[in-house]
Amino acid sequence: MAKSRYEYVKEFEQDRILLPNTFIVIRIDGKSFHKFSKDYNFIKPNDLRALKLANAAAINVKRSIKDVILAFGESDEYSFILKPDTQLFNRRESKLISTFVSIFTGNYIALWSKFFPDSPLNLNNLPSFDCRAVAYPNLSILKDYILWRFVDTHINNLYNTTFWTLVEKGGLTTQEAETRLKGTLASDKNEILFKEFGINYNEEPEIFKKGSLIYKDEILHIDVFKKIDELLKNYE
């Protein structure tokens, strides 16, 4: 096709190309989900329907983008790891993040009613997500990235479980629960749960404690520390 005299405006476009032979991680995170989860009455601290919905959306992302090696999700976020030699969109950052986040969001909305049959989406309050891409230069740092998210899942879940138990079963206000937990260690929180409420944290559902790892079309709730080397052995 002949070029028009307006074509030159393309020259203002600036692409950021993610470095070759690095592990690209795309992380999606719900926008203002603290509020969104209240608006739709998510069960605190963990609404299983919401976690399963995010998993279903993420599985569809992985199915439609073949270069995803694995994905890890917790709370309102999902990380997708691409194989280091991916040539998807010639590694253009803006194409990658916008495509991932729109496939994820489209699926999240399309699948909503399957997981929340009794809470239809309000068209004035639809879920949306932000997205970033980071290129990690080697396998060791990539593993640390995944472990960072895994450890975060544990820290947040233990805190949130104790916090909401103090509020819902202990009758504390959210402010009082926050004060009570200030400066406490993991062992203190385990003790509050067990001694005051008879809750053994170890018996909480695995999906809450360990997050969700998608590998080869399967959703696993596992100790990522134990499995990470095996999962990524092809990339040594």
Which residues make up the interface to Mg ion (CB under 5 A)?
29-30, 33, 75-77
Q: Is 76 annotated as a binding residue?
A: yes
Residue 37 makes contact with ligand ATP by CB under 6 A = yes
Q: Is 33 in the site for ligand ATP (CB under 6 A)?
A: yes
Q: Could you tell me which stretch among 6-14, 45-53, 162-170, 179-187 binds ligand ATP (CB under 6 A)?
A: 45-53
Tokens of 235: 């990339």
Helix (H, G, I), strand (E, B) or coil at 134: strand
Asked if 47 interacts with ligand ATP (CB under 6 A), we say yes
Token digits of residue 39: 């608006």
Cα distances (angstroms) measured from residue 215 to each of 44, 123, 157, 221, 226:
28, 33, 23, 11, 15
Nearest-approach distance from CB 230 to ligand ATP, in angstroms? 28
Residue 93 engages ligand ATP in binding (rule: CB under 6 A): no
**Separation between Cα atoms, residue 200 and residue 202, nearest integer Å:** 5
> Which CB sits closer to Mg ion, 33 or 208?
33
Are 24 and 82 within 8 A, CB to CB? yes
CA dist list (Å): 223 to 147, 210, 211: 10, 7, 9
Residue 44 beta carbon to Mg ion: minimum distance, rounded to whole angstroms:
15
Which residue shows structure tokens 């917790």? Answer: 74
42 binds, among Mg ion, ligand ATP, none (CB under 5 to 8 A by kind): ligand ATP
Is residue 76 close enough to count as binding ligand ATP by CB under 6 A?
A: yes
Q: How far is CA 132 from CA 7, 144, 229, in A?
A: 29, 18, 25
* Structural element, H or E, at residue 27: strand 23-30
208 is a site residue for ligand ATP (CB under 6 A): no
Name the minimum Å distance from CB 172 to Mg ion.
24
Q: Which residues contribute to the site for ligand ATP (CB under 6 A)?
A: 29-34, 37, 42, 44-47, 50-51, 75-76
